[in-house]
Structure 1
């Protein structure tokens, strides 16, 4: 097993001290801008300089050998002898405004490069040169120092001594982990039907370092069936770390529960669940400046004791545990969770931590691919989520409002410069507005990147950042900061612009909105997945798999696997209405027929039911009509802006004993259409009204055109398949356990067409057609009379 460590990461861990600084005005510049500056300076060097000079050394820790490697930005020679090591750093700050801790960290990195060079060449001393570039005004600062061999050896040995302490801790954790895995057994007496097949497929995929797309229907036990083989592969060193990535908090909790189950079987590894910053940050931190935040000030001075404390006393590290130790050691819980994750074998978190270009975990994924394994749960959700990750828009409205307020702001001297910067940026919107005026339209779609607008935006960022740093007490600081962040996001997303992106100009109440969005981020997802060596993307609804391969980073050599349902198909009564038209134009005139079908369902057997509809407006319409016709039946509905507490109360209604006998109305594709588990009598049936097509608009039509040109499947990829996935997810609420029975009504004549029946999963092939209300009533009565006696 390779033990490699970058010199920069080593130095940052060993020598970083002082305060934690917020990301907004970090003294580190973006990697791209820094690389450009590096190349620009290096091109000016003559032949006596060697740019990107590779340095490497090995150290022994116990029985393990660690290779430390890195690249000095430059090394200078005189008469064939090395005499200077150079490091280039960039930031928007003036060098003198950098914290002493940051400057010391720069010098520590230089010293380590120099120490390795001295060790290799037997030099007696060497010169250190720190070149610092202030990006906001291109000012260059040169700082020099001399490092003797004695000083270099002392620094190197002290660095390695600290590293050895932590490497030894990791080795002990590693040995304990692998020993426990070698004795680990599947946590249940028997595998469920098809479960062993899935686990074997996952293990083989990790072993051969491939990607696997898996459709594993409800009841397969997807979480344990993917985590268990991944952990077995971890114990055999076929992967170095597992990332369990989800779209929702509820599925993250299932992953935590599965690990707890394995822990009870003897597993000893470290896992952590990462939580969004706004959810884990202490309440008292939110209104305090970074420089006054007691959890930020001195963060790195207290970090190592906190790390040692939590790693020696905890294994399955939840949000509450992170908060407990963060409070104990007075350090920021969010940043602490990220630092702890570096020592964990399993990292559970949102899709964002790998796929989102704005918030992905740079400490894991910034460098070259590692032996990571990605388990992507409920992967069907990644389609829409990934598009939103590569979407950004900026409006002229906030800019206009800020300018109006600035003109009446005091003192004028403070605001004059920033007002000039904003007015220049406003010119970019004026030019975009002229583009719209030329077409005499309110909207314009284009495949061209808005390069002219971006030039204005980049200048805006550079100028405004400096002003923000100097005027944190100004009454317009927060408004301008919010706008600065929006522009910054727009620039970042635009850097990925390719043939799958579109630009949309819109005129909204005399304000210009510029939006860039990605139609198919598959190639970008592929790059993210390539940060590891293996990936398993799985869901209960991932068909047709070819579609998901096309939109989720599937390449030519990916593997695909579809499991059949472990449940007896005829435990589900499935009824399709071939004569009921619920398309938008016919909904009003067929409302009474919809209500009659729903009434037949709930009266056929007393119990709890869910009705899913394609929009909130249609939901309220059907809910109101149904309640009037059935005043004796308890009804509840999903509101547009439900709080987490209201959602919990909605679900709790179905779980009450004795049964509440409630009919709930919810939105197709919403929070109650997937990820909820209502077993047994908690749910007797589901009705789905419409095939759930996405809303018709310019962007979806552009998506349709793109997929038609790319895959000759425009309507299917843009409308039908996303909608039908929502149908499958909602339908999956009915049968949740081996002993469950229930009914599913598909109330839309389009379900009876070949376009849709060919998409029906294998366990739906027994569906019945209900041509009339009387026929439906008889079919429901027959199902409930015989289902339990026959199965």
Structure 2
């Protein structure tokens, strides 16, 4: 059976012919729905002699590959027995400017349609029409060209011949890649407990096009157990691209290292790591303007020749490699990573490149279903991350600050801001009534702020117009412009799973559109993907994640921990109340429990608290009462260097005891690996419950209405997942031994005991700090 390949006419033209610079000063800001409506309006303006959305295709064979170039002409018009191919383009520019400034990509696209139509219908010549429609002022311009079939054929075959060169490059690589995959064996001598089972389910999910939800404890080896079978399935043609997405830099590095291990065993595969633009930008500020940035200037003129060299010389496109290549070829490192991703088998990136509507990779995740596989690492983070991705806010204060700066520069923007301010003033009056009546500083609505949308769109239009004539680098203007654009983008997803919140914060008024339940959005994105593998050590309770992630006729697997339960001692101190109102009262007891645990055996310990305030309270008390214990504390807003220094203190264990005071859900409670004697104890204070507040209460209210599990969905489950993550820092390898102690009276409740993972049994209940000391002494004596 011959291999098949398809490419759209638009993608073919843009890939071969795109030229010029990356330029953030040129943006259409035309939403897809607006473009679609404009197309439909123009198409309906014609009579029966106009056929809309006409499919055209051209097929050819090249080196045993059947290739289809396809697209849809916006319209074919018959006028006075003359055939006219119509291509409609929406714009914010003056439509008459295209008479002198011909857009060669637009013209090349319609010329491809024209040639295919001539070829199919045996015509010697044809008329081509570019229809430009200004979406703001509804002006329209029809530009016509007449070409012979021979002229069109020359240009079309040039594109095809250039495309064949890339196909040859790709197919030679894929043949070698698939041979290496076929010969690849599991890179370790033996599977760990649960690894083979997980790998089998992942493989079945990929070839059957299903989701797999895997609860896999620390030590399972999740990265190799998901990558290996997916790459095997790729070699057999079941998936064309793998996205490994994660919320942590360290897990991206684990993925890179895992691929390197397989490559050392003979695997030939390309991977790209995508790093945020702000982190890899080589300029003093992120300003993708060809006048300012040499890496943006002429980017598209250089990229294809650079790619031809890069793709045959390197296969690993890590952040360091991309930064090197960026300098060598003078190319924007971020855009280079996106272009290399097109040719890569594995793309390693953050969640937002798949799920966030503002930054998702449109070149991969458009509205069409694909045959990709997405591996979601640390998937317990996905629900809250998605909730944040699909929420947005704006404040009255920001608009009024901008008004001061723009005063006298542009009356249209001033007028737009005045109308937005009037809207906020009206809301303020309603809030004042609400506060005086209900003592509540917010108004909650289950409908969109439609009136505000209209005002914000006007603001966007006026700023667009202003920026097209002024090279204004006002950061506040640009920041607010993008905040408004983001707000409107999120508004397009608004449905019954969202709420609108107006709140009074000191002297400011804020409006938020909040995604309360992101499950439909997550599931709709996953429906476009052939297979999604969702894995974490803390997908508990599984019913919650199955509901939120839409697991129906899919696979669910829960693996046992590969670690010997005798290597750890789990202690519950259930006679200490750590609820918010009792923290000061019981803080002395907490100090004694911590001291009793860490004094038995010298080594490194971490203590996790639900808040900085609570942590600082206990930290100050233990330092005052027991100055001989070396205590270090996680500060708020630590820089990357400060975080590294903090961790370095645990990398070289000495004979002294070192106790790190940290915050649950923070940098040190997830994703860090302090193996063997680098960490011999973890103490968790409380149940990790998020701070009670309006946002969480809205989630509670929503799910109470839908499934009566509101408190658990808003507070219990997110909190306990943080507890599980922190507890998981203690035992990372089969050689690790340590104490895990959890202090809170709520661990006596059946609700929490139901959530305990199976490896938390057996455990010990400590009735006092002295009892903690006895339990710890017995454990460490047995270890010697």
Q: By how many angstroms is 1:2 displaced?
A: 3.8
- Which residue of structure 1 aligns with residue 553 of structure 2? 557
Match of 2:414 among 402, 415, 419: 419
Alignment of 1:188-587 (within 5 A): 188-283=188-283, 286=286, 289-407=289-407, 412=408, 414-440=409-435, 441-473=440-472, 477-551=474-548, 553-587=549-583
Contact 1:136–1:466 (Cα < 8 Å) also in 2: no
Alignment of 1:9-88 (within 5 A): 9-22=11-24, 25-27=26-28, 29-78=30-79, 83-88=83-88
Contact 1:28–1:91 (Cα < 8 Å) also in 2: no
Structure-2 change in CA distance of 1:438 and 1:148 (3 Å)? farther
Contact 2:608–2:663 (Cα < 8 Å) also in 1: yes
For the residue of structure 1 that corresponds to 2:131, the secondary structure is strand
- Which residue of structure 2 aligns with residue 697 of structure 1? 693
Give the unaligned 5+ runs of structure 2. Answer: none
Give the unaligned 5+ runs of structure 1. Answer: none
Alignment RMSD: 1.7
The one-character-per-residue Cα deviations of 1:214-259 (angstroms, maximum 9, x if unpaired) are 0000000000110011100010111111000000111000000000
Structure-2 change in CA distance of 1:301 and 1:96 (3 Å)? farther
Q: By how many angstroms is 1:384 displaced?
A: 1.2
Alignment of 1:558-707 (within 5 A): 558-658=554-654, 661-707=657-703
Contact 1:181–1:267 (Cα < 8 Å) also in 2: yes
For the residue of structure 2 that corresponds to 1:190, the secondary structure is coil
Contact 1:468–1:481 (Cα < 8 Å) also in 2: no
State the aligned residue count.
778
Contact 2:442–2:501 (Cα < 8 Å) also in 1: yes
Q: By how many angstroms is 1:749 displaced?
A: 1.1
For the residue of structure 2 that corresponds to 1:363, the secondary structure is coil
Contact 1:91–1:135 (Cα < 8 Å) also in 2: yes
2-structure distance, mates of 1:503, 1:484? 21
For the residue of structure 1 that corresponds to 2:364, the secondary structure is helix
Q: By how many angstroms is 1:448 displaced?
A: 1.1
Q: By how many angstroms is 1:563 displaced?
A: 0.2
2-structure distance, mates of 1:102, 1:365? 30
2-structure distance, mates of 1:348, 1:21? 26
The one-character-per-residue Cα deviations of 1:433-475 (angstroms, maximum 9, x if unpaired) are 233244345311111111111111112211221112222237x
2-structure distance, mates of 1:672, 1:100? 59
- Which residue of structure 2 aligns with residue 747 of structure 1? 743
Contact 1:688–1:745 (Cα < 8 Å) also in 2: yes
Q: By how many angstroms is 1:286 displaced?
A: 3.6
Contact 2:290–2:298 (Cα < 8 Å) also in 1: no
- Which residue of structure 2 aligns with residue 731 of structure 1? 727
Q: By how many angstroms is 1:285 displaced?
A: 6.3
TM-score, normalised to structure 1, is 0.96
TM-score, normalised to structure 2, is 0.97
Deviates more, 1:631-640 or 1:421-430: 421-430
Contact 2:115–2:152 (Cα < 8 Å) also in 1: yes
Q: By how many angstroms is 1:307 displaced?
A: 0.7
2-structure distance, mates of 1:351, 1:101? 40
Q: By how many angstroms is 1:123 displaced?
A: 0.7
Q: By how many angstroms is 1:119 displaced?
A: 0.8
Structure-2 change in CA distance of 1:632 and 1:101 (3 Å)? farther
Structure-2 change in CA distance of 1:335 and 1:609 (3 Å)? same
2-structure distance, mates of 1:712, 1:559? 26
For the residue of structure 2 that corresponds to 1:34, the secondary structure is helix
Match of 2:757 among 736, 758, 761: 761
Contact 2:687–2:744 (Cα < 8 Å) also in 1: yes
1-structure distance, mates of 2:425, 2:412? 20
Contact 1:570–1:766 (Cα < 8 Å) also in 2: no
Contact 1:306–1:326 (Cα < 8 Å) also in 2: no
For the residue of structure 2 that corresponds to 1:675, the secondary structure is coil
For the residue of structure 2 that corresponds to 1:496, the secondary structure is coil
The one-character-per-residue Cα deviations of 1:716-738 (angstroms, maximum 9, x if unpaired) are 11111110000000000111111
Structure-2 change in CA distance of 1:102 and 1:272 (3 Å)? farther
Structure-2 change in CA distance of 1:302 and 1:659 (3 Å)? farther
Q: By how many angstroms is 1:30 displaced?
A: 2.6
